[in-house]
Amino acid sequence: MKHSKCVNSEYKTCESSLCCTKINNFGVKRSGTEILKNVNLHIHCGDLTAIIGPNGAGKSTLLKAILGEITHSGELQFLDANNGTTRPSMGYVPQKLDLDSSSPTSVLDLFAAAHTNLPIWFRYPKKIRERVQKSLSRTHGEHLINKRLGDLSGGELQRVLLALALDPIPNLLLLDEPVSGIDQNGLELFYQTVSMLRKNYDLSIILVSHDLNLIAEYADRVAFVNNHTIECCGTPQEVFSNEKVIQTFGLDWSSRFQKVEKDRVANAFMV
């Protein structure tokens, strides 16, 4: 079997006239230990890039460094379509959220706290409620507006957090294993929503995930984090055919892609 070559920190270069987020030569040290080094990634607007890798590889660290929550070396740039550079605006859905399930805080309270200075015993102005309703509709969560956060299912909470991360619409959306503990239907729905959002809003999305089947179906690019850096980056087919990735996840994805290719050719002959 032919394996694709794993090139250290290979990345698709931003093309002119397209907006793009550039992560250039990122490095992170924590408590004197090197967690990440020489990380390069370019993400076009409208593209979903999945980050995969073993536990402890540094996936969450990379997202926190991009967010500016932890110190890093290297630079982060957003290139707009006219080739102007700024820092990208960002939305983030974290891996874990420690909620007090007995708290009376509602979904509306959460959004109002993020967007206004109003205390939660205040009656919110109509325009706040309308804004929250509009935000929630982006992830099909309009009906959740008055629910207590503690009463939301895992899938509902993720839809609310995703809607919050999209208000206002950012240049770059960062999702850190946002669907752990959600059933298969909820998972599929989440990926469909994210996939639809990236095209509708021309969003660059970085998604840390272990759901290799769904990544193969929905991601435009995959980056494999291992040994403190991005060891392999490319299309799902390229990355899942890579020997190191196959070894790490114990799967042979090339047969899956060979089958997809065979089906494609067979269908082409049927036309």
Ligand X SMILES: Nc1ncnc2c1ncn2[C@@H]1O[C@H](COP(=O)(O)OP(=O)(O)O)[C@@H](O)[C@H]1O
Return the number of the residue (42 or 59) whose C-beta is nearest ligand X.
59
Binding mask 26-45 for ligand X (x = CB under 6 A): ----xx---x----------
Closer to ligand X at the Cβ: 53 or 236?
53
* 260-266 own/partner pairs: CB under 8 Å, 24+ apart: none
Decide: is 53 part of the binding site for ligand X (CB under 6 A): yes
Contacting ligand X (CB under 6 A), which of 4, 9, 38, 60?
60
Given the complex with ligand X, which of 58 and 234 has the nearer CB atom? 58
* Residues 123, 129: Cα–Cα separation, whole Å: 10
Which residue in 194, 235, 176, 244 sits closest to 10, CA to CA?
235
* Partner from Mg ion, ligand X, none binding residue 55, C-beta < 5-8 Å depending on class: ligand X
State the pairing for strand pair 73-79/20-30.
Answer: antiparallel
The residue among 38 and 60 lying less far from Mg ion, judged by its C-beta, is 60
Residue in 92, 89, 36, 97 with CA at minimum distance from that of residue 62: 36
Calpha distance 21→69 (Å, rounded): 18
Distance of closest approach, residue 28 Cβ to ligand X, in angstroms: 8
Binding mask 27-56 for Mg ion (x = CB under 5 A): ------------------------------
**Which residues contribute to the site for Mg ion (CB under 5 A)?**
59-60
**Which residues contribute to the site for ligand X (CB under 6 A)?**
30-31, 35, 53, 55-61
